[in-house]
Structure 1
Amino acid sequence: MKKIYFFICINILIFNLLQAQIKIGVGGGIHQASIAEKNNLQGWDLNYKNYFSPSTGFHAGVFAEIPIDKKGNFAVLPSLQYTNKGRKFARSYDSTKSFNSDTSSILSSWKTSYVELPVNLIYKLPITQKVNFIIGAGGYVSYLLNGKTSYDIYNASGEHQSYNDKLAYGDQVKTYNKIDYGINAVAGLDFNDRILFTINYSKGLADFYKADYDASFKHQTIGATAVVWLTKSKTAKTKAAAQDSDGDGVPDKIDQCSDESGTIASNGCPDKDSDGIPDKEDKCPDVAGLNKYGGCPAPDKDKDGVPDDEDKCPDIAGSAKYAGCEIPDTDKDGVNDEEDSCPGIVGLPKYNGCPAPDTDKDGINDDEDKCPSKPGTKDNKGCPVIEKNMVDEINKAAKNILFDVNSDNIKATSYPALDRIADIMLNNTALKLDIEGHTDNTGSIRHNQVLSGKRALAIKMYLVKKGVSHERMTASGFGSEHPIADNNTEAGRAKNRRVAFKVTY
């Protein structure tokens, strides 16, 4: 209860602080409440769903209207209400089923009571001088006060049993959440700023009940509300005190064009280009200008923002800094001198006007150099040429790498070959190594893919233990995707079961 009192006090305080700007009223109404339940129970649609029906409830509380624009067409409509929600269940059984189950009918209801805070953004459309049509939407949050479920069971012999259970709250199954929230929609009529009548709809977004089966439970209501306003808004008082027929913010008593919407700067007369010169005196009413040109802009043939009488290059768009001329580009590289870090050398925009760098000084700029930190040749795209005898030695070692049957365990006879590959990698620290595992087509595709990958990874881990950085190596398994011989012969399958290495920079 302390939380409820605190909740109410905070809202009353807010209402009092805003009292000079809002309308306050009291109201209430009736509604039809239902529960949108979704679940995976067998037979739900046939045996249960169609026997539920809405429950009639009521709501009542304090309402407010807070205008958010000068004309009062848009407003926030909050309220603090007591409301009840729920649903009903009723089912009767035919004589045969009643005889077998000893139950002829079941009546039950599910009722919950909340303190609810709906807040809607509304638009007020004048229909007559004293009647406004309103429409809006928003959200709500509510706090559960109490609730109960009741059951009435009648058997075939006419006996009647009745049960009433209070709702349990908490985080366990078969309990209810204290907090619920959702969305609202309202539409209605406001009569003479005194009486408000609305049709309202709400739908919960949160599950308010935790069942012992997989399900969701969300409240729904549709109803009608009547509100009696106890005070007029500040907007209404202001309208009465300061008449502004054209709604331009300039009171009629000082508005030189009271029947046309205008601006304060032009004494209430229209000024489409907002240059402070009323349209009726402006020779260029659609373009902001100056008094000296009768409301037209100063001439500017090249449209660079520098008037022709100040522009040294009146036919070429430039900048004010250079008296209407273009920013110079001394080296003619397309990057003007203000943005060019190398204004005397032809360069590229991505390097702020400087040439592309060549870190390894091999005559191939870094943009085209695949090995920008190691001198190389143009034919090898900036990378050093890998010696043929080194590649041959690695390929020879690959042929001597063997595994246990159907396993990624490396045979000990393969260690010398792997040690030689490790020596080559440790002595050539710029090299990178791609390790590929391949199989024949014996067995499933999935098995071969996994096995080849594990074998490639086993080789990589062996070389890592020998001191080769894992960042310099990749391990990939291709299964039987890339055969180099005929898989229909044993000799061909033997060639296809292999490890391959690719050396790159």
Structure 2
Amino acid sequence: MKKPLIILLFSLISATTFAQSRFGVKVGGNMANIKFGETLPGVELKSIFTPQAGLVYYSNLSKPLFVQTGLLFNQKGTSMNIDDPIVSAFFGDSKIKVTYSFVELPINVGYQIPVGDNFAIAPFVGGFVGYAVMGKAKIGSITYDLFDDEEAEDLISAKDRLDYGVNAGLGFHIGKRLIISGQYSHGLANLSDEDPKVNTQTITAGLTFLF
């Protein structure tokens, strides 16, 4: 009798937990930049606007403490203005736009602070792991593949497509379906196989709709 009872209790707990969990979709945008391990003479870095979108999962939103994860398409990168007349004359442009397209898995832990009946503020911290499905550098009308050694030998060549880092942010939970969030993410993996080191940085604003 004990074994069927344990199975029944486990099933009830699992069903309750799942019922309290929520799936949803997220759309947003990044102010993305890249941090180099050292100052590059004659190079000015500027942030670029890039998209973020995907599926998200929130555990146990009926209680203050929750876990948030999902699977996102997340694009990161930077714009570099190079003060070099040779580069400008050869390519017809002195600006290089670098973009990495990641499939990303975030894992964040948050805490809901109620402010009224249908609104809560939720600070959260965590981390992410991402895999770059594409890396491009565009100079003028020419686009280079950053993961092709021959194409990108004089640019930011990369062999390791894995990125990982830390997140910190704030969510505004409106009712039971909408979440507006802001987040800062800092990559810890070196995206370049040469010096100087290259790390991603993003500030993200997003809108999540829960089912």
TM-score with structure 1 setting the length: 0.35
Contact map agreement 2:180 2:207 (CA 8 A) in 1: yes
1:164 paired to 2:147: no
Query: Residue 30 of structure 1: CA displacement?
Result: 0.6
CA deviations over 1:258-306 (Å, ceiling 9, x no partner): xxxxxxxxxxxxxxxxxxxxxxxxxxxxxxxxxxxxxxxxxxxxxxxxx
Higher strand share: 2
Q: Report which structure shows greater RCO (CA 8 Å, sep ≥6).
A: 2
CA contact (8 A) 2:26 2:207 kept: yes
**Bigger shift: residues 19-28 or 177-186:** 19-28
> Aligned ranges for residues 18-417 of structure 1 at < 5 Å?
19-39=18-38, 44=40, 46-48=41-43, 51-67=44-60, 72-91=63-82, 102=89, 105-152=93-140, 162-168=141-147, 174-211=157-194, 214-230=195-211
- Equivalent AA in structure 2 for residue 75 of structure 1: F
Which letter does structure 2 place at the counterpart of 1:229? L
Check conservation: 1:169, 1:178, Cα contact below 8 A.
Answer: no
- SS of residue paired to 1:215: coil
Q: CA deviation at 1:110?
A: 0.6
> SS at 2:128's partner residue?
strand
- Contact 2:93 2:139 (8 Å CA) reproduced: no
Q: Deviations over 1:291-341 (max 9, x none)?
A: xxxxxxxxxxxxxxxxxxxxxxxxxxxxxxxxxxxxxxxxxxxxxxxxxxx
Q: Structure 1, unaligned stretches of length 5 or more?
A: 1-15, 153-161, 231-505
Code of the aligned partner of 2:142: Y
Q: Secondary structure at the match of 1:176?
A: coil
How far did residue 102 of structure 1 move? 5.0
Could you say which structure has the larger radius of gyration? 1
Give, as a single letter, the amino acid of the residue that structure 1 aligns with 2:200: H
Q: Which residue of 1 aligns with 2:11?
A: none
Q: What is the rounded CA distance, in whole Å, between the counterparts of 2:98 and 2:29 in structure 1?
A: 17
Q: Which amino acid aligns with 2:47?
A: P
* Structure 1 position 27, deviation (Å): 1.3
Cα gap change, 1:102 to 1:224, in 2 (>3 Å)? closer
- The DSSP-based 3-state class of the residue aligned with 1:115 is strand
Which amino acid counterpart does residue 157 of structure 2 have in structure 1? K
The 1-side partners of 2:24 and 2:136 are apart by 31
If the length of structure 2 is used for normalisation, what is the TM-score?
0.81
| CA RMSD after TM alignment | 2.6
Secondary structure of 2:147's partner?
Answer: coil
Structure 1 residue matching 2:56: 3-state secondary structure:
strand
Aligned-partner Cα distance in 1 for 2:181–2:89: 47
Structure 1 position 193, deviation (Å): 1.3
Aligned residues of 1:91 and 1:105 also touching (Cα < 8 A): no
Give me the whole-angstrom Cα distance separating, in 2, the residues matched to 1:107 and 1:216: 20
Q: Structure 2 matches for 1:388-467, cutoff 5 A? A: none
What letter is aligned with 1:226? L
After TM superposition, give the deviation of residue 105 of structure 1 in Å. Answer: 4.7
